[in-house]
Amino acid sequence: METPVSEQQQLRAALDAALAATIDFGIRKLKDPRWEPAPDSEASAELASRQIGQDGQPWSEDVLRTPYALASLLMTGVLDNLGSIRQLISDPMPAIGPTVIARSAMEIGATAWWLMQPEIGARRRTCRQLVLSLVSARRAAQVAEELRDDESREEGLAQEDRVLAQITGLAISPPEGPRYKPVIEGESFPEATEITATMLEPCYPALTGTRSFYRSYSAVLHGQVYGLMNFMTPAIQADGTILLSWQLRGSVLYGAVEVALLSFREPFKRINQQMGWGRLEYDLWHARAGRALEMVTTRGAWHLWTAISATSAGGTGTELAQAPCGRRDPAICGTPRRGLVAVPAVLTSALARRRYE
């Protein structure tokens, strides 16, 4: 079903407000080149830890801060993705762009989320950062070799040597495992499908198997038919025939923006906890984003409050996500297509409000 223009505009205005609030908050909180933790925070404890290097001296503060610098780089990438989506949802709006960018935000955010896991200590966090740095250097050299760029290949190999030398200097065990899947003292970067699923699982308690998130968004990026068919919408012609047209349905747009926002929120929660920055500013931002999303998540036949009440009364909470199109908000409604899995649309489940509480 084609989304009416007025409802599409309302949806886009609500999503734009949520994106703007998040970008403003993220830049304000994360813009400093050196994040300063609260005195009683986990980060302060890590910076004061006395890990001893090969020379018998404690690790420098720069070494201990490098994981935070990498997390800052990753979060900058997520915020840039949010800004890109915000620009794309203005007129004229391309169909495929927001989904492709949301996939990028998902993967970058999940990497920051993994790196900033609470309570793992300075040594494990540094090992995770070294894993990411080593894989990056090796991949850079691999790509340069395939492109026959000898200078860039040498730069990649030199960076790999520097990372390996740092590992030795920090008295960390040498990497083990495959070249592009190294393990450093038990730390190895998970596969993208696994890590994104683990990050998003608490956000979608009504869904079974969040591994499909990364796969479905990758299907769009890689041109899989079932992914591209999310952008083909049936339209009834004057003579009664039905033709498919290429456009971005409201449900797919909402799903892409929501995943991108969660890909900022989930790693930020870990950063905020690690730095001990407190919850006031976070709660204020959360409320602003929530109010914007409520413009489209509490309307019409979504019946979110009914769904939540059904869950409290013993229902599964998924009944409305499976309801016929006519029972959902027309601004985010798409016609199901037999034999095709419109996976991104499942992100607009009946429990959407709960993700922002």
Q: How many CB atoms lie within 10 A of CB 6?
A: 9
Classify residue 110 as exposed, middle or buried by CB count within 10 Å of its CB (0-12, 13-18, 19+).
Answer: buried
Q: How far apart are the first and last CA of the chain?
A: 31
Q: Which tokens is 104 given?
A: 């990028």
Residues with Cβ within 8 Å of residue 307, at least 6 apart in sequence: 315, 317, 319, 320, 350, 351
Count of helix runs (H) and strand runs (E) in the chain: 12, 2
Strand, coil or helix: 287? helix
pLDDT of residue 204: 81
Predicted TM-score (pTM) of the model is 0.82
Q: pLDDT digits over 167-176, tens only?
A: 999 999 999 9
pLDDT of residue 342: 33
Distances (CA, A) of 257 to 3, 88, 92, 105, 298: 17, 11, 17, 10, 17
CA 219 to chain centroid, in Å, comes to 16
Low-confidence stretches of the chain (pLDDT < 70) are 1-4, 208-209, 296-357
pLDDT of residue 69: 97
Q: Tell me the C-alpha distance between 89 and 131, whole Å.
A: 36
